[in-house]
Structure 1
Amino acid sequence: MRHDGRLTTIGFDADDTLWQNEQFFRMTEKRFVAMLADHGDETLISARLLEAEKRNLAIYGFGIKGFTLSMIETAIEVTEGRVPAKTIAEILDAGRDMLSHPIEALPHTRETVERLAGDYQLVLITKGDLFDQERKLAQSGLGDLFDAVEIVSDKSAASYVRIFNRLGGGPEQSMMVGNSLKSDVVPAIEAGSWGVHVPHELTWVLERVEAPVEEPRFREISDLGQLPGLIESIVKAS
């Protein structure tokens, strides 16, 4: 695949773009709700957990460790401080299980990244816990295909400007690919980059925003297998 100077760098999100992630949060939440079944119904406990996650994002950031602490906080709240130590231990076990779950690559991940590697500067841009993201990248076997890895506390237009200025030819010559409109697509477009949405069947409620369909640099594909063809069409049109 050939390209000119107008597109030099492609950023990839990791969780639920390259490999499964949200499904493990959903499974653990169901396990957590079952632990507290005597203290409220599923809807109530899940709502309280989401409130705790929202409060704690600015303190703990994104990832499994913050989610685990939010589960503990929720358990203390819904039991009015009477949660047994055994239940706290079960919550910690659930968090550890998430941190050791094998990586499940999404369809077309390896073939797409391999096809683009070498022709473009590839940057993995992900947010969350440093150790967990490094673990997943190592287990995925994709690490050698990326020219750089950026693990950030959050994704904003400013962070994309900084990353693409430092690692590529600037935002205007860059593209961000991911499943989250809020984190991967909208701020990348605001930074001046292309934003490519690859929807995932499970998207955390706090990552949902309206698609920027009026933006000329917005694109959407059904899976990563369509990405090389999309890039080819963008390059030819430029």
Structure 2
Amino acid sequence: MRDVITLTILGGVNKDGITESIDRIEVNKGEIIGIVGPTGSGKSTLIDDIEQLARGDTSSGRHILINGEVPDTSIRVDPRLKLVAQLSQKMHFLADMTVEDFLIMHARSRGKGPGLVHRVLELANTLTGEPIALHHHLTALSGGQSRSLMTADIAVISDSPVVLIDEIENAGIRKQEALELLACEGKIVIVVTHDPVLALMATRRIVMKNGGMVDVITTSSREQHVCCKIAEVDNWLLSLRETIRRGDIVEGTV
């Protein structure tokens, strides 16, 4: 993986052309940072700026720096040098090939051996309640299976050191484990979310309003404690969904 130690967002303007309240945010390797705000507040525009490595040439006027420097033009235009991978809530494969063939092809394209295939599959199956097998065809995978596979693929095979995640709270995967997996692989993880668990898992969260960054909140120890409590309930609900999906009887008290 190309070594990206820091990603810096230099502020631009909001929807009214007024300078953003936050003029500089630096995100470090292995850090999870959240982006929060109501619908229409500019969250998607911010991750688009990051994905494009903006140079003041987008509607927001923001600049994105890599390791404190303006990234080379080739990184922006050559897909083989792309620094940013993106996971969205809506993700489905179009290629009619097996999971094994896809992973081998991707590993080969990155100059890596096929030995990583089983590791990707093993990790993917820790994130989804619907087991994935190597012989499964990509087009037959559910949305949750697709996102689990791509999360594991990005963590193990992909060279992209920056991962943008757009609202995976309803994506049918174990979301907490997905974020932790990517961060532990040394990725910079930036997640757009309305989910309190994901927001509080982040070390910081950028607050968006009217197209601009208005605040950066550092997650406090009290908020971390709240996150653990909510996560317990969240995991219970996930377990309950799996019980119902299997056709089993729900036992015990709420």
Query: Is TM-score (shorter-chain normalized) higher than 0.5?
Result: no
Greater share of strand: 2
Structure 2-normalised TM-score?
0.28
Greater share of helix: 1
Structure 1-normalised TM-score?
0.30
